[in-house]
Structures are given as structure tokens and as C-alpha cells.
Amino acid sequence: MVGAGLAGLTAASRLAEAGARVLLVEAGDVAGGRLATLDTVDVRWRGTAMQFPIEHGLHGVWRQYRNLRRLLADHGLDRWLVDAGTQELIVDSPNGVAAVDIGASVRGSRLPAPLAQFRPWFSPPFAYDTLTAGPVAFARMLGCLSHALAFDLASPDDVAAYDHASVATMIADWPLSFRQLFESFSHSIYFEETHAVSLAALFTGIHLYLVNDRRDSQFDVFAADSEQCVISPLLAAIRGRGGEVLLGARATGLRIEGRRATGVAIDTPRGAETLPASAVVVALDPAGQERLLAGTPLASASGSPRPAGLPSIVVRLWLAGAPRPERAPSGLLVDSVARNFFWLHRLQEPFRTWHARTGGGVLEAHLYGDLAVGVQMVEDAALAQRIKATVRRIWPEVPGEIVHAHVQRNPPTQVALRVGQMARLPAVITALPNVARCGDGVACGSPAMFLERACLTGLLAARAIVPSLGLSPERVPAPLAPLPPERTVAAVRAACRVMRGLLPLNLRSYQLPSRRAGRA
């Protein structure tokens, strides 16, 4: 097992449960990948001194993350999940700040689906832009969005057609606030600008998080850091079933004899060696997979570039106060210095305890795409001040004093699904019967992203190589399908698939899937 991120941990734990003897190899000093807890920081204020875990970044476990939720439940780890509450979409513009509830207002709406999912659009500034743009422009925008409802991830024709257009081409002439909303979605979900993000990728995210069911916008977070809640327990479960975990060991190549992999070459502080293997699961980010598989029959021969790895920046501010309790604990920022925010003292320990003892709040803000690249040369202190200035505009009740600031510049491992790439993602099953891939840069044939895609492909990889280990595939759980859409959504989707050839989509190079494919 090469790579101890969530995909590798899923595959390793499921194979160990099936009776395989697992050796998990990880180049880093800690397991977890983008779910890792990387460090700790000490903060002292008002006579209180506490130590805080520093994660790669806070992650949500969304309602549709069914395979991840089952994995957690199987190990008794679902007890760590807590409801993240409602979310706000905050438009921070020269004209002022508008905060729109995009969580509870949708889930509690009496409108039929999918109209309930558009409930925030009846709030300013969206209502204002709709009125000023006029009914024709609004109808044209709805025509574009009908393609998101009609999209079928299980149809190769659909994926290929929409994958060759960008989000920017669809939203080019939309009213300003709606363009900004989808720019924020592109950053928050795919870490990129709209001109780079594939429409097929965006539509997949819309199905997963928004339109299938009004409850899909709900997510949980872990009540404490990921090391305590997920990583350590999974490693203990693997070791408890006879598996081994080797940290600080970088895989450098596969040993292949005939049509089978027979070993993995590694470098460690003690030197180089080759570990014998009956089967191999490659659970690395796209760049890591490319390096490991170079020169093997599994190297990419399609001519298409692998998904890019993008950097991200996480800024955490310990502040002298906190927002009013009625404000949302998390949300999206539009046209701002950051794209996502989380008030950690509302969500996790030990930040909750810190707030109870000191009254101070703790903010976590995420920067992706051009926002992250554009501040690479900005000093940490200056970047923290920019975030503080944003806090003062959006939450004026929060005192301006920064008690402590931590700026974390993550390596370029966020997987970008750019135009033309989603239809060409590598498959879990490879040309060698005892080698499989997994990770959130691997195709899975389901509207799954991030933690769920990592978990799902890890599960599929375990099922793929079980026969080469002489074990029954039935000993590894079958993947769970997404929860079905609300009945009204299913009816609207069927109508959109029939009619989409007549509905406008502002893509010059776009070719509609056939009506037959549209009904698939």
C-alpha cells in the first residue's frame, strides 16, 4: 500500500479486515495526507495557555459521503461527527457586506425541490441583480443551469461533452452576483478560476452538494483534530489485524515481472531497499502516481496531462472576541481575500474550550487558486492583517486585536479538474491484475469528490486486488451508491434531459449529447 492518505488508509483497512497482510508505506512523517494533523501551536492569553492541533485544513463530511460515513461507523468513529450548523454566503464588495444564509434557509424551505435549493437567490444582492438584468437574461441563466440538472455522470457522452467547456464560458454574461457566486464555487470546490474548471466537474459537485436533495448542503465536522478522530484509530485497526505501517519511506518505483508487480522500491533514512509484494495499491496524488509509475506499463500514454496539483493557504487567527451567536459558524466569501471561513470555536475542541475560558474567537480562512498564488510572496504577518481587515468589515462586533496568527502554506497537492481532464482520469483498475490506483484524482463513476472520492476509490481498489491475494471479493464491502434525489428533482431532471437540446447554453464549441444519451 503506497500512500497513507485517506484513500490508502481505506484500502489498507478494508484489505486487513478481509484477511490480507498489509504493509502501508508513507513518505511523510505523519499519515493522513490532506486529512493529516501536521503540528501543534501554543497560545497564551488572559492567563490561559493552551496547545492547539494544526491540521492541513478543516474538512466537511457531507450528507452524501456515504462510503466515508460507513467506514467511520464500522470503526466506531462516527461518534466524533458533529453538525456544522448553517452556512452563510458573504458578498464583500465596495457597496457593503451582504450575508445570505445558504444552509438552514434551504433545508427548512417549504418550496418544492429543486426550487428550495434556489431559495438564497431571492435575497439581496441576487434579487436586485435579477431585477436589473431583466427576465430574458434571468431565463437565459436558468436555461444554462438546466444543463446541470440534466447532466448524467454515468453517461460517457455527457462527461466528454461538458468536460470540454469551462465554467467561465457558461457564466460569461450572467448578472454580476451570480457570476461571483459561481466563481466562489469554483474556488471552494475545485481550487481554480472559472476559466480553468471543467463544466463536467462543476456539474458533478452541484449534484453532490446542492440539487439532489435540499438536505445535501448539510455537513458534519470532526469534533476534534483528524489525527485523534480518524487517522490514529485507522492505523491502530490496521496494526491490530497484523498490518505494518512504515512512515518516512518514499516509494521510488515498482518491480514488475511479466504481467505482475512483485515489489516496491523505497528510500528510507536507513537506505534503499525493495519490499516484496503480492499486490500493490498506489494511493498517491496525481504527481506522485506519475513519478512512481514512470517507465512502467502503467505510465500515462494518453497524451493528456495529469490533473494539476494546486497550493492552498490556511490562515488561523486567534482574536480578542467572537461574532454574535446568530451568525453562521462557516460559509463562503465572495470577492474577498479568502474563499472559505470556519469559526473553529463553534465547531471543534480545543477551540471551544479556549472560547469558554477567554471569550476569544478562532477563525480559519482558506485561500485557493489565484488567491493563494497571488500571496505567495506576501509575508505571513501582512497576510494575517489582510484577513483581520476582512473580519472587521464582515463581523464588526469582533475586536480588532489579533491574539495569535498562524499561516500555513500547503504544498501543491489539491487536485484540480481542469477543462478536458475529468473524462480522462485514470481508472482504479490498471493493466496489471495485481495493481490498482486510488485517490481523489482517480475516476470512480459516481458523483463523489474529495474525502468521499478518496474513500470510494480506496474501497474499489481493495476489491480490485482481493482476487490476486487469493481472497474473496465478498470480504470487502461493496460501494454504497449516492442517496436518491427527491422525487420532484427526479421529475425535473427527466424533463431537462428531454428538453436540453432546446435550452440555451453559451458555449461556442459545445456539442450537445444526443437525446438518447441525454435519457441514459
Q: Where are the domains of the chain?
A: 6-34+226-304+422-471, 37-84+219-224+308-415, 103-217
Span 6-34+226-304+422-471 CATH architecture: 3-Layer(bba) Sandwich (3.50)
Residue 516 has pLDDT above 50, yes or no: no
Q: What is the pLDDT of residue 503?
A: 63
Across the range 189-197, mean pLDDT stands at: 91
The torsion region of residue 47 among left (phi > 0), alpha (psi -120 to 50) and beta comes to left
**Average pLDDT in the chain:** 92
Q: Measured between alpha carbons, how far apart are the two ends of the chain, in Å?
A: 36
Of 6-20, 146-160, 285-299, the range with the highest mean pLDDT is: 6-20
- The band of 519, judged by pLDDT with boundaries at 50, 70 and 90, is very low
Residue 360 has pLDDT above 90, yes or no: yes
Q: What is the pLDDT of residue 304?
A: 58
- Convert the pLDDT of each residue in 29-75 to its tens digit: 999 999 999 999 999 999 999 999 999 999 999 999 999 999 999 99
Of 7-16, 152-161, 488-497, the range with the highest mean pLDDT is: 7-16
- Convert the pLDDT of each residue in 111-143 to its tens digit: 888 888 888 888 888 888 888 888 888 888 888
- Could you give the count of Cα atoms lying within 13 Å of 274 in the half-sphere of its Cβ? 10
Residue 88 pairs in a beta bridge with 101, 331
* pTM of model > 0.85: yes
- Could you give the count of Cα atoms lying within 13 Å of 408 in the half-sphere of its Cβ? 21
Q: What is the pLDDT of residue 507?
A: 55
Which of these, 438, 471, 321, lies nearest to 67 by C-alpha position?
438
State which fold the 37-84+219-224+308-415 domain adopts: Polyamine Oxidase; Chain A, domain 2 (3.90.660)
Across the range 181-190, mean pLDDT stands at: 88
Distances in Å between the alpha carbon of 176 and those of 57, 93, 97, 119, 384? Answer: 30, 11, 15, 18, 28
Task: Determine the CATH number of domain 103-217.
Answer: 1.10.405
